[in-house]
Structure 1
Amino acid sequence: MKEFTLPRLTGGLLLAGFILPAGAVQAGDAEAIIQSKCVACHTQENAKPLQMSRMSHQRKTPEGWLMTIARMQVMHGLDVTDDERRTLVKYFADKQGLAPEETEDSRYAMERRLNTMESFESTNFEEMCSRCHSGARVTLQRRPASEWKHLVNFHLGQWPTLEYQALARDRDWMDLAFKEMVPELANEFPLQSASWDKWQSAKKLPASGSWSFSAQMPGKGDIRGVMTVSGGKEDQYKVTVEGEYADGSTLQGSGTAIVYTGYEWRANLTVDGVKMRQVFALSEDGSELTGRMFEAVHDEAGMDFTAVRAGSTPTLLSVQPGYIRAGSTDVLTLVGTGLGQQVSLGDGIRVVSELYRDGNKVVLQATADSKAQPGARNVVAGQADGAVLNVYDQIGSVKVVPDFAVARVGGNGGSTPKYNGYFQAEAWMNGADGQPGTEDDMRIGFVPAKWHVEPFDEQAAADRDTHFTGRMDEKTGVFTTAAAGPNPERRMSTNNAGNLKVVAEVMEGNAVLNAEGQMIVTVQRWNNPPLP
């Protein structure tokens, strides 16, 4: 048997393989690779356009196609180079991808938002599909009924004990899978769709240009800056990022990017010495990029990111910070493009002075009248709008975001890194009844807090979980987990897992407002695919 090299099956490392280096095999060679490397298992159904059994009857995201090709390598001995794999991913994602509206509800999986709590209307779907992996892995695929049936058979062949597991052994699993789930999946996620037909014929715009961006990162706060994109041949780009955090410290980085399916932006950058990824969606008119930028090794550490292309319709991305207290004077930064000279912050808010201006931001000193009516204000800078500023008179309550999180031990000489916890304190103003937790409460925004952890329950206290699981940074809300492996100091030398209560304390005048969340600290992420 011919030897071949197995791909390194970790999410970050496989994602790194997305970016095509200079001199790589180009997308035009994909069909030649398919005809030379795939015909051992797949039959050719048509020559022009090329159609192959199984593979031509599915549509997926770039991550989905990457996982499929990697599985062919691991399970079936497919012998392709890294460059050839990148070429195949590009080819399939462009030719058999998903339209923007087909991915919008499931992008959290591609963006590595791993604390997302999924919920689906179909109980069958939750019990049959999303009990072993994320439901998004399914919703980011499109197949005809025959291919959904093949997928059921694949699961049984690959995991023959599946029918004897929980939520399977207590029912006629096979009958349910074929007679109910296959029709449901084929109806909800069909191969043919009007949105995909429309997107295939839509004009695809290059991503080159200057982009003004606004971001928000747990532990660091608001971020703004400029991303410069050059190139575009074979949808490949060079990227530089220059920006600043809310505390005035700078952010600088550069790297390369590629666009799949006409809108799926993926980039590898080094930012301030840290390797990072970008998973963005380019808007259909080519004027905006939205998504998440996160560390390559610690993908839990990242920022929500929105960018607008310079020269497009005047747009106000954000006001940083996004709130002001009635009766106070603050420095506000407006971020966007085409920001006009005439700035309106809304009723009861006056611009005292303009401190700085360039093509991407305007820094203002503003005062909110002591009698300003609480609520959201639409902010306008010339013809640019799209952002709001929340006016409040008092913080009524605070929430921990996320209110439930999972962190993981790691490191300690092992192959898997730690997965830390990142928390923010979200302030709310009480509604008309003056009581927190009602429908008319107004979200103010993320505010500074003092952080600590406590045992979640009596068992956690008895096991001294707060001592062994890691340490919380009281200023940033970042929880750094402890080392992996058995700990001889713990009862029965167990590992450093635990159950913690996450507590935020926010000062409101002389009062302290508390908020609580929960964090499970558990074992390493042994299986870390591009789509969880």
Structure 2
Amino acid sequence: MNHKKARLRLFFRSALLLMIAGLGSLSAQARGGEEILREHCTLCHAETTTESGAAHFSRISDQRKTPEGWHMSINRMLHLRGVWLPPQEKQALVEYLANTQGLAPSEAAPFRYLLEQDTNRVETEVDPNLEQMCARCHSAARFGLQRRTEQEWQYLVNFHMGQFPTTELHAMARDREWYRLAHDEVAPELAERYGLKSEAWEEWLSQDKPLLKGSWRVIGFVPGKGEYDGRMTAVPDEDGNGFMLQMKGHYADGSPLEGEGHARVYTGYEWRGTLMLDDVEMRQVLAADPEGETLRGRMFLADSRRLGGAMNAYKDHERTEVLAIQPGYLRLGESREVTLIGQHLNGEVSLGEGVRVEEVIERSDDRIRMRISAAAKGSPGVRDVTVGEATGDNILAVYDRLARLEVEPAHALARVGGNGGQLDKMRVAFRAVGYAAGADGEVGTDDDLRLGYMPADWSIIPADETAAHEQDADYAGTIDAHGIFTPGDAGPNPERPKSANNVGRLKAVATVDDGTDQVSGESRLLVAVQDYVQRVLD
């Protein structure tokens, strides 16, 4: 596909998938949204008028959701209830509902990993009742990103019984009065925790929303490519309904990064972008802070949502800012090349106690590439880095030896696929995080000094004796030099006993050579069958 065709394809897909930039004229949006609801939804959802004179649509007006949540609800109406909406009206309806019945930043914050498709994690501290009743089939973020009245939570229980009648026969359901417990005890608990009305949402509605156009300094990571930094410009598009994006920068190895695309912002802070970056389609799911100073979230491959990495953007205010140093660690008595990243980097560079600049290799307004060294008898710890009057707090870790490695994600799920089937393989990208002993001298405590992500040699091994006996490491998949695990083909494998498929239980192992030390860390990896139940977002 040539570049011009790729741009056209990107534009039309963006028009369907992304929402309006900012809240804009809420009155015009509200009229449009209400008109669409009246035309397409009131056959089933009755409209009444509240005491304040506002329109109220049964069921719809008693819920608040993220844009993705409203998108899924509308798709369910389209696919299961026979509703038809022109694409532009579907987009406008999602926008209207997200802007007027969305979630405040503080409400969405604990569950952003689901929005950002960073789902290889184990949820902790979930209420036992909600874990047993809801989080056995859904992530806790699934219901944590919704707000409903108590009656609506009870209606949701009834929906499950009608749509999934075998729910009562599942484990931990068949041996108790599942429906009564869900309807009479769990639904009220959900309403108490995640009720429709909240001070946070009312306060957010009344606030001025951040302006997100302009130039942004971006820092992030792309699996297989590595860390990057650059600039992203967001220019309002012709119809004022979004931003045209351009990104340009460098990966840590010096190779160029360049792309362009489109973005929209809704609920006042939820940024959704689609762009062709180095001829690969990428998605951005970011959240703006209330002042519009930063965007934080994740950028991932459009066709493989789990393969992605953190992305942070900082608004350009034409003042000196120190944002990061790559890599962010230096061993005592050694020297290495690093890149200092920031904005308008004017002034003398200072790297903290015992660290000096040996040579400035390349310097520009946004980045300084240099060779630095740490005194052999210096003190381990984190250092502030300053350029002129600007300071990057605690961004350089100076250490004596690498004590341990952690592999992220610690627990991962991959899925077989391909081999002529309709479902692709679900890959996993691993990264190794280094730690040195902290001030207490002990390893494995909260006091450990985090060094940051480190390049590693990667391998896979069986998770246990049974996995070794089944030869899972030979059949379940492979891991490359970048830490990207690719599972095996779907379907029976005649080379395995009883023609079993290529599932398995593995460990992903990272090994780092640090001077004379060699340190390893590992992650649990489950290779499962295809995921036949997937949400529809298009």
TM-score by length of 1: 0.92
Moved more, 260-269 or 506-515: 506-515
2:208 matched to 1:203? yes
**Per-residue displacement from partner, 1:370-396 (whole Å, max 9, x unpaired)?**
222111112233343344111111111
Partners of 2:19 and 2:266 within 8 A in 1? no
- Overall identity of the aligned pairs, in %: 43
Alignment match of 2:67 (pick from 62, 66, 73): 62
TM-score by length of 2: 0.91
Equivalent residue, structure 2, for 1:268: 274
**Per-residue displacement from partner, 1:398-443 (whole Å, max 9, x unpaired)?**
2222222111111222221111121122111123564432332211
What does residue range 51-450 of structure 1 map to in structure 2 within 5 Å? 51-231=56-236, 234-311=240-317, 314-387=320-393, 388-432=395-439, 434-450=441-457
SS at match of 1:488: coil
**Per-residue displacement from partner, 1:54-84 (whole Å, max 9, x unpaired)?**
1111111000000110111122111112222
SS at match of 2:304: coil
2:506 matched to 1:503? no
Cα distance change of structure 1 residues 389 and 432 upon mapping to structure 2, 3 Å threshold: closer
Cα distance change of structure 1 residues 468 and 517 upon mapping to structure 2, 3 Å threshold: same
User: CA offset at residue 530 of structure 1?
Assistant: 6.7
CA distance in structure 1 between the aligned counterparts of 2:319 and 2:271, rounded to whole angstroms: 21
User: CA offset at residue 106 of structure 1?
Assistant: 0.2
Cα distance change of structure 1 residues 313 and 92 upon mapping to structure 2, 3 Å threshold: farther
Equivalent residue, structure 2, for 1:33: 36
CA distance in structure 1 between the aligned counterparts of 2:177 and 2:345, rounded to whole angstroms: 62
Cα distance change of structure 1 residues 463 and 373 upon mapping to structure 2, 3 Å threshold: same
Equivalent residue, structure 1, for 2:459: 452
Cα distance change of structure 1 residues 181 and 316 upon mapping to structure 2, 3 Å threshold: farther
* Runs of 4+ with >4 A deviation: 13-16, 232-235, 432-435
Name structure 1 gaps, 5 residues minimum: 1-12
Partner amino acid, structure 2, of 1:403 = A
Moved more, 454-463 or 355-364: 355-364
User: CA offset at residue 323 of structure 1?
Assistant: 1.0
Cα distance change of structure 1 residues 126 and 16 upon mapping to structure 2, 3 Å threshold: farther
Partners of 1:99 and 1:199 within 8 A in 2? yes
Partners of 2:294 and 2:312 within 8 A in 1? yes
Cα distance change of structure 1 residues 432 and 267 upon mapping to structure 2, 3 Å threshold: closer
Partners of 2:413 and 2:525 within 8 A in 1? yes
CA distance in structure 1 between the aligned counterparts of 2:33 and 2:381, rounded to whole angstroms: 55
Moved more, 370-379 or 288-297: 370-379
**Per-residue displacement from partner, 1:249-283 (whole Å, max 9, x unpaired)?**
12211111110101100011111111110000011
Cα distance change of structure 1 residues 73 and 467 upon mapping to structure 2, 3 Å threshold: same
Partners of 1:430 and 1:441 within 8 A in 2? yes
Partners of 1:506 and 1:512 within 8 A in 2? yes
CA distance in structure 2 between the aligned counterparts of 1:410 and 1:14, rounded to whole angstroms: 25
CA RMSD of aligned residues (A): 2.3
Moved more, 257-266 or 380-389: 380-389
**Per-residue displacement from partner, 1:199-218 (whole Å, max 9, x unpaired)?**
11111233211111111344
User: CA offset at residue 17 of structure 1?
Assistant: 3.4
Partners of 1:15 and 1:530 within 8 A in 2? no
Cα distance change of structure 1 residues 394 and 493 upon mapping to structure 2, 3 Å threshold: same
Cα distance change of structure 1 residues 526 and 352 upon mapping to structure 2, 3 Å threshold: same
CA distance in structure 1 between the aligned counterparts of 2:534 and 2:370, rounded to whole angstroms: 44
User: CA offset at residue 335 of structure 1?
Assistant: 2.0
Cα distance change of structure 1 residues 469 and 249 upon mapping to structure 2, 3 Å threshold: same
Partner amino acid, structure 2, of 1:236 = G
Partners of 1:421 and 1:478 within 8 A in 2? yes
User: CA offset at residue 235 of structure 1?
Assistant: 4.2
Alignment match of 2:495 (pick from 483, 489, 499): 489
SS at match of 2:118: coil
CA distance in structure 2 between the aligned counterparts of 1:113 and 1:341, rounded to whole angstroms: 38
Partner amino acid, structure 1, of 2:379 = Q
User: CA offset at residue 325 of structure 1?
Assistant: 1.2
Cα distance change of structure 1 residues 307 and 384 upon mapping to structure 2, 3 Å threshold: farther
Partners of 1:213 and 1:335 within 8 A in 2? no
Cα distance change of structure 1 residues 31 and 234 upon mapping to structure 2, 3 Å threshold: farther
SS at match of 1:163: helix
User: CA offset at residue 134 of structure 1?
Assistant: 1.0
SS at match of 1:459: helix
User: CA offset at residue 234 of structure 1?
Assistant: 4.4
Name structure 2 gaps, 5 residues minimum: 1-11, 22-27
Partners of 1:309 and 1:337 within 8 A in 2? no
User: CA offset at residue 302 of structure 1?
Assistant: 0.8
CA distance in structure 1 between the aligned counterparts of 2:344 and 2:376, rounded to whole angstroms: 31
Partners of 1:16 and 1:268 within 8 A in 2? no
CA distance in structure 2 between the aligned counterparts of 1:15 and 1:174, rounded to whole angstroms: 42
Cα distance change of structure 1 residues 216 and 372 upon mapping to structure 2, 3 Å threshold: farther
Partners of 1:110 and 1:530 within 8 A in 2? no
User: CA offset at residue 493 of structure 1?
Assistant: 1.7
**Per-residue displacement from partner, 1:266-314 (whole Å, max 9, x unpaired)?**
0111111111100000111011111000001111211200010111765
CA distance in structure 2 between the aligned counterparts of 1:225 and 1:455, rounded to whole angstroms: 40
Equivalent residue, structure 1, for 2:520: 514
CA distance in structure 2 between the aligned counterparts of 1:98 and 1:357, rounded to whole angstroms: 43
Equivalent residue, structure 2, for 1:8: none
Cα distance change of structure 1 residues 381 and 452 upon mapping to structure 2, 3 Å threshold: same
Partners of 1:308 and 1:315 within 8 A in 2? no
